[in-house]
Amino acid sequence: MYKSEQLANSIKQLIENGSLKANEKLPSLRDQVNRSGLSLMTVLNAYQELESQGLIYSVEKSGYFVAELFSPLSLSSTHNPTVSLNAKIEINSLVFNYLKSIQPSEIVPLGSAFPNHELLNPPKLIQIMGQLTRNKKNFEQNINLPPGNFELRKLIAQRYGMQGIPTQPDDIVITSGCLDALNLSLQALTKAGDYILLQETIFYGAWQIAERLGLKVVTIPEHPQEGFDIEAFEQAIQTYPIKVCWFMLNCHNPIGFTVSEKIKFQIAKLLHEHQIYLIEDDVYEELFYRGTKPLSMKYFDQQNLVLHCSSFSKTLGSTFRIGWVYAGKFSEHIQHLQLMSTISANTLMQNALVEFISNHHYEKHLRVLRRNLEKNKRIFFEYFKKNLPTGCEIHNYAGGYFLWLTLPSHISSMTLYEHLIQQNIGVAPSQLFNVQQAQKNHLRINCSFSWTIEIEMAVKQLIANISD
Amino acid sequence: MYKSEQLANSIKQLIENGSLKANEKLPSLRDQVNRSGLSLMTVLNAYQELESQGLIYSVEKSGYFVAELFSPLSLSSTHNPTVSLNAKIEINSLVFNYLKSIQPSEIVPLGSAFPNHELLNPPKLIQIMGQLTRNKKNFEQNINLPPGNFELRKLIAQRYGMQGIPTQPDDIVITSGCLDALNLSLQALTKAGDYILLQETIFYGAWQIAERLGLKVVTIPEHPQEGFDIEAFEQAIQTYPIKVCWFMLNCHNPIGFTVSEKIKFQIAKLLHEHQIYLIEDDVYEELFYRGTKPLSMKYFDQQNLVLHCSSFSKTLGSTFRIGWVYAGKFSEHIQHLQLMSTISANTLMQNALVEFISNHHYEKHLRVLRRNLEKNKRIFFEYFKKNLPTGCEIHNYAGGYFLWLTLPSHISSMTLYEHLIQQNIGVAPSQLFNVQQAQKNHLRINCSFSWTIEIEMAVKQLIANISD
């Protein structure tokens, strides 16, 4: 045992000091035995230890290879799928400082994650809120204990049903926003030290929560055409003992793609074969512009492996902070976790949503919202297309309200953000969405705003800064 | 090493099978060496291992003693302070099922933790809410990122200042209720495996959160006269490497006592000497009836060791779900944790509270609320005093809205609760507040309600069930 540890440590040093390069093949077991004079069992133990630490990976019939800790996103260049284990996660302070910096009202909110408020908070919903608050009785109700307001859960269940996903109200747990749903789901499914799989470019909340829970994070890069790289996914789950995946597949934040049904079906098949759970962040599911609402992974899930999380914050407004998780058999576990944190999402807000949705106002509102988001984003896109300097690329997809810009590789989007915030313009640099910091030259632009003089001036200034 | 483990295991068995009784002195190290033929080092290692497992404790100059795993609350009988390490925590399902059982509107809410809604939600606050919701602009504000609404933090800081506790708005973090504040504070201060110290009888949320975070929980019993047992506290922190305490010292839930300033001063002194943090659950601080508001531990805290948690839920209503923590130098850490869970407490509710408090409505409301709670509780107390069978005791203190009843020792309050819930009457059995289940014959009764026929009938039925 001692000898195998010693061998593992010395190989680890070679990897860490760069003597062994990423994807370099290690000596075969037999070679290593001959070379070192150690027993086969000792060498095998050492290799397995290194594999469990994510420092090397095995390929069937080929042997062991050095794992790559940093893998560049290559949405537009040649594509080499690489699976990465991330040694250390530290993104919390970065995100925190970023969010504080774009908060003041004088900052043009091109870096915001929330859609233009003016398109949300429909008058009918405000009217319902007004009516509810006029009656003291509505304040005197019992708190909505977990799993939350029954009528609201029934309405949410019906909406799943309309997409061919059979759902009972008791499958749903109401939460204080989508992030709360995602956080509770990950807590329910994991314990410290477990392996989880993330997309390489993802909403920063996933990184923060994984860091907090002490999870080992493996990432797969985006596929340049399909958005989701099924080959890298298969490689990842064969290499690491992944317990839970956390994916966003519809109107992906920050990039914008929506993954095809064919690939979703393949993902589901692999999840089932390997009995891996999926936490699906689907907070933009209602903001797809073309045809019907895209299917969620829940649709393809026959074995209750998918916990589907969403909310009303991106469609009705952040004042509501009401989200939910399709928790299925994990409902009770998640409710237990709620009983030690928030206890309950806001009761009054849940009541207002019940009245709004049950009177068919939600569908009407969503139609108008999608039309306006699409219209506003198109204006941004045309302007960028016309005015961005050569060497830039615009990733424009039919959904959501973000454009993802690839800048010339010599530009650091973090430096650009720091310059722009001095000029009262907020933009979201790629470093927020990619903890490995491999992507340094992308920007997420919030295009949900009307094309006012102020917005045009800010976009012009942004482009001037890129061109400098 | 082997020998000491073997010795530790055999002593452990003697403790577990009852051969060694609680508080029995173990053979001295020297005796054990002579008796066993083992070396002094082996015996010492074995004793230290047992101590670290909480199975035995050491007393300076006296030796080692068997720890007591179950220590009865003796509020009214002879008092033997005993410190306990709790081997396993499992209260979550019990609490969960209890809360669900008392939720239906047909259950008479004598078991509720919330005060009578009719005394909360003052008309002026409802009016402010109505005004805010009439204006769409109030829904279009940016979400209140952590640490929350500045004006509200300023008002809360001023209230601390009025009690002689110098406070800046940046010391305060707004949360989604007090439990959220407590949970975030404990997360910020601990990691799995740390020792925390709780009062033996305490709000069940503390147990649930400790369980979730994988903490080792040591408890100290209540003092029959003082409420808080300073001697047991000193013993506990000398015996175990306590990192954080979590205490409720004002209008204690469920018992009701308020600890004297003299004892609070002594607690602060010991915290400072041992550099131990205190999370103070002070959610009932405004509901003390006699004289001025009792001082919090924050008043005695010179070194920023106290994180003081409170909320508006028990004074203004559970619809608001706005709490806070006086986090001081831990503010940023707690904000980071918020950014991965709820992100923000409700923005609209925070705005409403700002207007309500800054226009001096809160103090007026609190005066009326205290008067009504005191009045209602007195009627309950008089009725119980007159009608409870002999062998019962009523613990009645000047604050809050709970009475704590001690029933004859042959009565299990859990069984009583189960009978009563069948008759649509909710009461809170002692088992909810004492994970060691040592206290089996107490009830917490919510006395915030007006003395209606329905309430009188329910109390009569409760007493009949006790007398049976």
What burial letters (b/e) apply to A380-400, b meaning 16+ CB within 10 Å?
beebbeeebeeebeebbbbbb
Among chain B residues, the shortest Cα distance to A122 is held by B136
Contact yes or no for A349 and B346 at CB 8 A: yes
Contact yes or no for B321 and A342 at CB 8 A: yes
d(CA A335, CA A325): 11
Measured CA distances, A344 to A316, B109, B179 (Å): 19, 19, 11
Contact yes or no for A208 and B130 at CB 8 A: no
- Which two tokens mark B389? 């069978």
Chain B residues with CB inside 8 Å of A192's CB? 192
Angle of helix A230-239 versus helix A261-274 axis, rounded to 10: 10
Q: Are B222 and B371 in contact (CB under 8 A)?
A: no
- The top-level CATH class assigned to A92-118+364-467 is alpha beta
CA angle A190–A194–A197, rounded 5-degree value = 90
pLDDT at A317: 92
Per-residue pLDDT tens digits for A374-387: 999 999 999 999 99
Any idea what DSSP says for residue B410? T
Q: Which residues contact B398 (CB under 8 A, 6 or more apart)?
A: B258, B288, B289, B290, B374
pLDDT band for A199, please (50, 70, 90 cuts).
very high
pLDDT at B388: 96
Angle of helix A361-387 versus helix A347-358 axis, rounded to 10: 90
Per-residue pLDDT tens digits for B364-412: 999 999 999 999 999 999 999 999 999 999 999 999 999 999 999 999 9
d(CA A465, CA B138): 35
pLDDT at A5: 79
Chain A residues with CB inside 8 Å of B332's CB? 96
Superfamily of domain B92-118+368-467: Aspartate Aminotransferase, domain 1 (3.90.1150.10)
pLDDT band for A177, please (50, 70, 90 cuts).
very high
CA angle B44–B46–B50, rounded 5-degree value = 115
Residue B204's closest CA among B189, B217, B223? Answer: B217
d(CA A301, CA A278): 10
Among chain B residues, the shortest Cα distance to A147 is held by B100
Chain B residues with CB inside 8 Å of A103's CB? 142, 145
pLDDT at B54: 66
d(CA B419, CA B462): 10
φ and ψ of B289, to 5 deg: -90, -30
- Which two tokens mark B193? 């495996």
Q: Are B185 and B173 in contact (CB under 8 A)?
A: no
The residue ranges of chain B whose pLDDT is under 50 are 1, 69-79
Best of A319, A325, A448 to disrupt the B interface by mutation (most B CBs within 10 Å)?
A: A319
Q: What is the topology classification, in CATH, of domain A121-361?
A: Aspartate Aminotransferase; domain 2 (3.40.640)
pLDDT at B330: 96
Q: What is the dihedral of CA B28, B31, B35, B40, to 10 degrees?
A: 80
Among chain B residues, the shortest Cα distance to A134 is held by B130
d(CA A192, CA A195): 9
ipTM of the complex: 0.77
Q: What is the topology classification, in CATH, of domain B121-363?
A: Aspartate Aminotransferase; domain 2 (3.40.640)
Q: Are B190 and B211 in contact (CB under 8 A)?
A: no
Chain B residues with CB inside 8 Å of A347's CB? 318-319
Contact yes or no for B344 and A321 at CB 8 A: yes
Chain A residues with CB inside 8 Å of B210's CB? none
Where are chain B's structural domains? 2-67, 92-118+368-467, 121-363
Please state the rounded mean pLDDT for residues A268-281.
Answer: 98
d(CA A276, CA B20): 48
CATH code of the domain occupying A2-67: 1.10.10.10
Please state the rounded mean pLDDT for residues A337-351.
Answer: 89
**β-strand pairing of B63-66 with B402-406:** unpaired
d(CA B446, CA B336): 36
Chain A residues with CB inside 8 Å of B143's CB? 114, 318-319, 321
Question: How close does chain B come to A310, measured CA to CA in Å?
Answer: 14
Any idea what DSSP says for residue B320? T
Question: How close does chain B come to A246, measured CA to CA in Å?
Answer: 15
Taking the CB of residue A53, how many other CB atoms lie within 10 A of it?
A: 15
d(CA A172, CA A282): 15
d(CA B235, CA A442): 58
Contact yes or no for B342 and A342 at CB 8 A: yes
Percent helix, strand, coil in chain B, to 5, is 45, 15, 40
Chain B residues with CB inside 8 Å of A176's CB? 176, 341-342
SS (H, E, C) chain A: CHHHHHHHHHHHHHHHCCCCCCCCECCCHHHHHHHHCCCHHHHHHHHHHHHHCCCEEEECCCEEEECCCCCCCCCCCCCCCCCEEECCCCCHHHHHHHHHHHCCCCCECCCCCCCCHHHCCCHHHHHHHHHHHHCHHHHCCCCCCCCCCHHHHHHHHHHHHHCCCCCCHHHEEEECCHHHHHHHHHHHHCCCCCEEEEECCCCHHHHHHHHHHCCEEEEECEECCCEECHHHHHHHHHHCCEEEEEECCCCCCCCCCCCCHHHHHHHHHHHHHHCCEEEEECCCHHHECCCCCCCCHHHHCCCCCEEEEEECCCCCCCCCCCEEEECHHHHHHHHHHHCCCCCCCCHHHHHHHHHHHHCCHHHHHHHHHHHHHHHHHHHHHHHHHHHCCCCCEEECCCECCEEEEECCCCCCHHHHHHHHHHCCECCEEHHHCCCCCCCCCEEEEECCCCCCHHHHHHHHHHHHHHHC
**Burial class of residue B19 in the structure, from the number of CB atoms within 10 Å of its CB (0-12 exposed, 13-18 middle, 19+ buried):** exposed
Residue B377's closest CA among B288, B286, B250? Answer: B288
Chain B residues with CB inside 8 Å of A93's CB? 336
* The pLDDT of residue A306 is above 60: yes
Residue with tokens 């908060």: A103
Which segment of A78-92, A244-258, B378-392 scores lowest on mean pLDDT?
A78-92
Mean pLDDT, rounded, of chain A: 89
Q: Which residues contact B17 (CB under 8 A, 6 or more apart)?
A: none
Any idea what DSSP says for residue B266? H
Contact yes or no for B139 and A117 at CB 8 A: yes
Best of B319, B337, B449, B450 to disrupt the A interface by mutation (most A CBs within 10 Å)?
A: B319
Taking the CB of residue A105, how many other CB atoms lie within 10 A of it?
A: 7
Chain A residues with CB inside 8 Å of B123's CB? 136
d(CA B426, CA A362): 39
H/E stretch holding B374: helix B361-387
Three-state DSSP at B461 gives helix
> Does the N-terminal peptide bond of residue B147 adopt cis geometry, omega within 30 degrees of 0?
yes
**Burial class of residue A219 in the structure, from the number of CB atoms within 10 Å of its CB (0-12 exposed, 13-18 middle, 19+ buried):** buried
- Which two tokens mark A418? 């720091």
pLDDT band for A365, please (50, 70, 90 cuts).
very high
pLDDT at A345: 87
Contact yes or no for B130 and A126 at CB 8 A: no
Residue with tokens 């054990």: B32
pLDDT at A73: 32
Among chain A residues, the shortest Cα distance to B208 is held by A340
Residue with tokens 């986090």: B327
* The pLDDT of residue A426 is above 70: yes
Contact yes or no for A340 and B179 at CB 8 A: yes
Contact yes or no for B317 and A142 at CB 8 A: no
Position B308: which residue type? H
CA pseudo-torsion sign B453, B456, B458, B461? negative
Residue B174's closest CA among B313, B360, B315? Answer: B313
* The pLDDT of residue A94 is above 70: yes
Chain A residues with CB inside 8 Å of B426's CB? none
Per-residue pLDDT tens digits for A18-39: 777 777 888 888 888 877 778 8
Contact yes or no for B133 and A126 at CB 8 A: yes
Among chain A residues, the shortest Cα distance to B177 is held by A342
CB pairs under 8 A between A and B: 159
List the strands of the sheet with B277-281, edge to edge. B84-86, B216-220, B195-199, B242-247, B277-281, B306-311, B323-326, B172-175
CA pseudo-torsion sign A196, A200, A202, A208? positive
